Amino acid sequence: MASRFALSSSFGTMTARIAGRRIFAHKSTATPIFQAAASLFSTPSHHQPEQTTMIDFHKANMTRRYSTSSSVADTATGGKQPEDDGNILHDSIGQNVHLHLLQSKDPIPYSSDIPLSPVNDGGALGHKKVTVVGCGQVGMGIAFAMLNQTVAGTIALVDRNKSKLDGEARDLEQGSAFHQHVRVLASDNYSVSQDSHLVIITAGAAQTPGESRLNLVSRNVEIMKSIIPNVLAFSPNAAICIVSNPCDLMTAVAAKIAGPSVPPGRIFGSGTCLDSSRLKSMLAKRLGIDGQGVSGYVIGEHGDSSVPVWSSVRVGGVPILKPGDEPSSVHDAMHKEVVDSAYDIIQRKGYTNWSVGLTGAFIGRAVLDDTHTIMPVSTCVRGLHGIEEDVFLSVPCVMGSHGVRQLIDLPLTDLEEEQFRKSAATLWD
């Protein structure tokens, strides 16, 4: 039997077909984690060689316990363990099974000359505190989303415009009867951020209509130089998320300002987490399904040279592209809509804030709750897909209390890998 997903829109129609195949994994062979999932429903091609895998999650500290009732097992096997037929992963009765993320890497320092710094991987967080630096439309969008979702017990706001900041804090406090108790602090002094677990930096010159994110660089570098030392002075162990545009370049700048004493991965950018959400939301809307039924990534620059990894996109687990197919003009048009969506919103209302606010809250929960959620964020990608420079781009990462824990080496088609390298060259040049 075969099933079909039809995507109808003003751009045209795209279809994805699947044919039932048995799902199994060999103990003796290995393949990239996401490539294994793709092989379930697709005929092997030059893009996806036929391999199977035992998924290994140990590096991400994800351990699951599998157990079987001894009475049931003994009855079924006569007291003997069944032989491995090569198609099933067997585990001993009551024994811990450790799975590890294959094709993953430790966070990469911002320069190849910098030695790795140890990460203080202490226990679970107690009372959670997050600081938002820069309380314009984006900063307040993030604060409002975190407040409504009770992401943290304390939200500290820092901005140089004290009068406006006081007004924002009072406005939030006066709605406290309608949400769980969250302490809101506000000041133009960084001391209010003392002992934060996460600091989200949105401060920077605003992007004007028609202006590319890269044009913001010179104006925002000087602002970042004044922020990072103050953040580290009061919260030396905090994870730091850069939202200020241009996000990837500002993340690289922040890492270099912080210096080698800050472990790689602790400073990261929100990157294409929002771009990926936009793509998944557009697909879900056109298919008439919930957005959580769509998975996939946009990687690379958070901006004009971002790369939609169509080979990773699944709808209900079904690949959106048939094996071996390349994206069509329909896919290209949808990606263009993703890239242009921020410019379109800025043209209409002057800024974006609600979607990036929800993105910040999503990232915040992953860090503060140490969830090990995989999401695309901006980090140093030197050594990935042939990139030799110390460039920061978004790739899927395992996120925890200290920021980026692992980088996922996402399998790419030849076209996607070429586009990813072009995205790196756009930022590096």
Q: Which residues are catalytic?
A: 302
Q: How far is CA 106 from CA 187, 259, 384, in A?
A: 36, 18, 12
Contacts 24+ apart (CB under 8 A), 219-223: 220/244, 220/245, 220/246, 220/250, 221/250, 221/253
Beta strands in 277-416 (DSSP E): 294-299, 307-315, 318-319, 373-380, 392-400, 403-408
Q: How would you list the strands of the sheet with 239-242, edge to edge? A: 104-105, 403-408, 392-400, 373-380, 267-269, 239-242, 198-201, 129-133, 154-158, 183-187
Q: Which of 245, 270, 241, 239 is nearest to 377 (CA)?
A: 270
Beta strands in 207-350 (DSSP E): 239-242, 267-269, 294-299, 307-315, 318-319
Contacts of 239 (CB under 8 A, 6+ apart): 197, 198, 199, 266, 267, 268, 367, 401, 402, 403
Contacts of 421 (CB under 8 A, 6+ apart): 385, 386, 387
Residue type at 187 in one-letter notation: S
Rounded Cα gap, residues 191 and 78, in angstroms: 68
Q: Which of 316, 299, 317 is nearest to 307 (CA)?
A: 299
Contacts of 172 (CB under 8 A, 6+ apart): 143, 144, 147, 184
- What are the backbone dihedrals phi and psi of residue 348, each rounded to the nearest 5 degrees, phi first? -85, -40
